[in-house]
Structure 1
Amino acid sequence: MQKAIANSLCFGVYKDSGEQVGFARMITDKATFAYLSDVFISETHRGAGLSKWLIHEIVSHPELQGLRRIVLATSDAHGLYEQYGFKPIANPEIFMQIWQPDVYSLV
């Protein structure tokens, strides 16, 4: 996890006390492409607009302006992301992946 965070543009949401209640990271070359990943707001802080604030801050970040494509995968927050310009991929058949679900398993 440390390597993933070290090689990403990370965003956090914190209470005045310093307690972290949200997080997201962008994996990007900062020139053409970015992948939004690991977005969360703690359950006890949901419903207060923090996810909207977080996504707004991410898509407004100076280092992420002018990218050709920003993508993400979500199973349940389509409505949130649509508010910030995200749309279903028009031609998903052109995308491929190498999927290794057990890559982090101890051998």
Structure 2
Amino acid sequence: MDETTTAPDAYEISTDAARLDRARIHHWLSTDAYWAIGRSRDKQDRAIDGSLNFGAYETSTGELVAYARAVTDHATFAWLCDVYVDRGARGKGLGTALARAVRDHFASTGVHRIMLATHDAHEVYRKIGFTSLDVPEHWMALQFQ
């Protein structure tokens, strides 16, 4: 079921994937997001298709101004990623609002852990309850080149 929630200053957040401006998301991430520079449009579209997507929209125009997605099994675990706020909409609390919408969406679903990785936005996520790992050496990653 698609959800719509209120966000700061006349913005709304929706999980309706049909509203997403895929070209804009690809442009943002592939040209301005350190973790996704150079990501192909095909890869971005596949990521969108395999995820629960959250868009933040100006209520007056319907324009997409921020985006986040969660990779999830909808039962036990979610990975929050690709959080991006358009440069012209930054400083209005939209990043925090998106992260809060993801948290609130999963709060009643049985998902007991939402993970994320960030180089520079720790305070955005701490505001809504994210903490550093208690035992980071328990976690591992397998990365392909």
TM-score tier, shorter chain, comes to 0.7 to 0.9
> Partner of 2:130: helix, strand, or coil?
coil
State the Cα RMSD in Å. 1.6
> In 1, distance between residues paired with 2:91 and 2:126?
17
Count of residue pairs brought into register by the alignment:
101
**TM value normalised by structure 2:** 0.64
Q: Deviations over 1:45-94 (max 9, x none)?
A: 10111112211211111576331211000111111101111110111111
Partner of 1:86: 130
Aligned match for 1:9, one of 52, 74, 78: 52
**Does structure 2 conserve the Cα–Cα contact (< 8 Å) formed by 1:30 and 1:64?**
no
More helix as a share of residues: 2
Distance 2:107 2:71 in 1: 12
Q: Name the % identity.
A: 42
SS in 2 for 1:4: helix
Task: State the distance in 1 between where 2:92 and 2:138 align.
Answer: 37
Which has the higher mean CA deviation after the structures are superposed, 13-22 or 62-71? Answer: 62-71
Higher mean Cα deviation, 13-22 or 25-34?
13-22
In structure 2, how many angstroms separate the alpha carbons of the residues matched to 1:77 and 1:65?
26
CA contact (8 A) 1:21 1:41 kept: yes
State the Cα distance separating 1:10 from its structure 2 match: 0.2
Distance 2:144 2:105 in 1: 31
Letter in 1 for 2:127: Q
1:61 to 105, 118, 136: 105
Give the partner amino acid of 1:75: H
4+ residue runs over 6 A deviation: none
Q: Which residue is equivalent to 1:74? A: 118
Structure 2 letter corresponding to 1:13: A
Structure 1 residue runs without a partner (length 5+) = 102-107
Aligned letter for 1:10? N
Q: CA deviation at 1:11?
A: 0.2
Write the letter of the residue equivalent to 1:88: S
Question: 1:12 is aligned with what amino acid?
Answer: G
Tell me the TM-score normalised to structure 1 length. 0.85
